[in-house]
Structures are given as structure tokens and as C-alpha cells.
């Protein structure tokens, strides 16, 4: 379980407060969707969750352990994938698996077992000897996902995982995320596709202007706003909280 309390991030260089006050709770065995308009602070929050950035204030607890103190051991348990993160194009999926598996100190046997399982699922096996740079966008994303999950992480953080992918690849990835959820893993998704949220997510957190304005189950979101759809609820919350009208630390019912 991940507990985020009053998280704040101010970038020193331009003094921008990317995240002002985010408080969320993400449980094991659930798909948690992080919603918010562009520039709301979702990516910065996810970068802090993945240890890439250090919070200015606030705490992040992984199973009660503070991330700031246990970042090395926690990093072994998480996977972070965004569209910005790519793999070295000169290498084949097999070479990449060996390299990244080695960085996580996996044994050759476990690398081989996990790699075969993931490559088979994502249909990479027949292209395992081809260079990553020769792949299509979808194949690259599937390979990145497979490599990312190679070390069998407990927590998977995806920033817009199906962005720019064809419908078949989207379904394949979505189905795998559900499979991971069923294995008891914690999945955090950042997306703009509200249909995906309604279809897949168990719980949802909404960030507007760097502040968390809702954290609850998907059915609770429209209920709490007195509307019928997730989309309507999101727009209502955005309008209420945009331009410094944010209610600090407000959360929906759970």
C-alpha cells in the first residue's frame, strides 16, 4: 500500500510549484487511476513516487516505510513506464532483458523464465533477435513494458501507458494490467482517457492545479458530485477547483 501525505514539489530553478498538496492512498491489488488536466502535477507526482524526484515537503510511505529512507530497497519493487522512457535502440529484446535483469541482480534463470513469459504474452518472442530501433511504436511500447516488468515489481506506475497505440495493443496491455492486479500488485495509471478509467480502474484520484481534490472508488466519483458519469464529475471538480479555488486535502468518500 502506498500512502501519500501532503506532498509538495517546488522546482528550485523556476520556483514553479508543480505539486502543492497531494494526499492519496493506493492499495495493493487495485488499479488506481490518477486523473487531472495537463500541467496538474500528475507526472511530477509519479516521478516522486518512482524516486526520480525528491519531494520538497510531505511523505510517501510504501507499506509504512518512508520512501526517502528506503529508496534503494523500494526501487527494486517498483516499475515506472512513461512514453518518454525508451530502451537502447541498438540492442535486441533479449540483450535488453539480460542487461536490465542484471541491474536488478536477477539470476540468469529468473531472467530467462520471466523474459520468456513476458515475451510470449506480448508477442515479442519472434522478434527477440531484432534491434529495438527497428520496431513499430506498439512493439516498442510492448517491449518497454516487458522489460519494465521483468523484475516482477509489486508496484507498477504507468504514465499514459496506451497513448498512441492501436486498439489491439491497447487491449493486450489492459488485459495484462488486470492480470497483474489479480496477482495482488498495485497499479497506478495516469491517463486522460476517462473511458479507460471507468472500464479498468478500481479507485481514482484527481489532481487539479497541484492539489488532490478527490480520492475514492470509481462509482463514488460521479455520486460525490451529483452527476451520472465520470467525465461529468471530472469536469465539475475541475471547474470548482481551478484557479486557486482548490480545497486543500479534500477527498471523496471511500
Partner 1 sequence: MRGLGKIFHHEMQKILKEKTLLFGFLILPVLTLFVTVGISLLQPRTGQEQNSSYVMYFYGIDMEKTNIGSVDDKQIWVENIDVAPEEFIKSDKFHKCDVLVDFSDIECVEIYYHQSDSVSAYLKMSAESFVRQSFDQVYKRMNQSVVFRSVDVKDITLKESNNRMIAMLLPYMLILPLTANIANFAGDTVAGDKARGTFYQVMLSPVPPISLIMGKILSVSLISLFSSGLYIGIDVIGSKVCEALHTKDVFGFAGVSITVPQVLLILLYAVLLCYLFSNLGVLISLFCKDANQAQTAQLPVTLACTLASMMSMFRLGSSPMSHYLIPVYNICLIFQDLLNSRAKMENMVMVAVSLLVLAVLVLLTTLLSYKSEKVRT
Residues that bind partner 1 (CB under 8 A): 11-13, 47, 50-54, 72-73, 75-76, 78-80, 84-91, 95, 99-100, 102-105, 147-148
Which residue in this structure is represented by grid cell 524526484?
A: 53
Q: Closest CB to partner 1 among 142 and 203?
A: 142
Long-range Cβ pairs for the range 239-247 (8 Å, 24+): 240/213, 241/208, 241/209, 241/211, 241/213, 242/208, 242/209, 243/209, 244/209, 246/20, 246/21, 246/208, 246/209, 246/210, 246/211, 246/213, 247/211, 247/213
Q: How far is the CB of 241 from partner 1 (least distance, A)?
A: 25
Q: Closest CB to partner 1 among 47 and 185?
A: 47
CA-closest candidate to residue 101, choices 116, 89, 86, 112: 112
- Burial of 13 by CB count in 10 Å (0-12 exposed, 13-18 middle, 19+ buried)? exposed
Q: From CA 12, how far away is CA 10, in angstroms rounded?
A: 6
Q: How far is the CB of 79 from partner 1 (least distance, A)?
A: 8
Q: How far is the CB of 144 from partner 1 (least distance, A)?
A: 8
Q: Closest CB to partner 1 among 12 and 244?
A: 12
Q: Closest CB to partner 1 among 9 and 203?
A: 9
DSSP state of 241: H
Q: How far is the CB of 237 from partner 1 (least distance, A)?
A: 27
Q: Closest CB to partner 1 among 152 and 202?
A: 152
Radius of gyration of the chain (CA): 18
Q: How far is the CB of 158 from partner 1 (least distance, A)?
A: 13
Q: How far is the CB of 163 from partner 1 (least distance, A)?
A: 14
Q: Closest CB to partner 1 among 98 and 209?
A: 98
Task: Say how far residue 137 (Cα) sits from the centre of its chain.
Answer: 19
Amino acid at each position: 500500500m502506498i500512502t501519500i501525505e501532503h506532498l509538495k514539489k517546488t522546482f528550485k530553478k523556476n520556483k514553479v510549484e508543480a505539486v502543492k498538496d497531494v494526499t492519496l492512498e493506493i492499495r495493493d491489488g487495485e488499479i488506481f487511476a490518477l486523473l487531472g488536466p495537463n500541467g496538474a502535477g500528475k507526472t511530477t507526482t509519479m516521478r516522486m513516487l518512482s524516486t526520480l524526484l525528491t519531494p520538497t515537503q510531505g511523505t510517501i510511505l510504501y507499506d509504512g516505510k518512508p520512501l526517502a529512507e528506503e529508496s534503494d530497497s523500494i526501487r527494486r519493487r517498483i516499475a515506472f513506464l512513461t512514453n518518454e522512457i525508451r530502451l537502447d535502440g541498438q540492442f535486441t529484446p533479449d540483450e535488453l532483458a539480460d542487461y536490465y535483469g542484471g541491474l536488478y541482480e536477477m539470476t540468469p534463470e529468473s531472467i530467462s523464465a520471466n523474459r520468456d513469459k513476458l515475451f510470449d504474452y506480448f508477442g515479442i518472442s519472434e522478434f527477440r533477435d531484432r534491434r529495438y530501433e527497428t520496431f513499430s511504436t506498439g512493439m516498442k511500447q510492448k517491449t518497454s513494458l516487458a522489460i519494465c516488468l521483468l523484475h516482477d515489481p509489486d508496484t507498477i506506475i504507468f504514465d499514459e501507458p496506451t497513448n498512441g497505440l492501436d486498439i489491439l495493443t491497447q487491449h493486450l496491455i489492459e488485459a495484462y494490467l488486470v492480470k497483474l492486479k489479480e496477482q495482488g500488485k498495485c497499479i497506478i495509471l495516469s491517463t486522460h482517457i476517462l473511458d479507460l478509467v471507468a472500464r479498468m480502474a478500481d479507485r481514482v484520484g484527481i489532481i487539479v492545479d497541484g492539489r488532490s481534490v478527490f480520492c475514492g472508488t470509481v462509482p463514488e466519483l460521479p455520486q460525490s458530485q451529483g452527476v451520472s458519469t465520470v467525465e461529468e464529475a471530472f469536469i465539475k471538480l475541475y471547474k470548482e477547483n481551478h484557479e486557486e479555488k482548490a480545497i486543500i486535502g479534500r477527498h471523496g468518500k471511500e
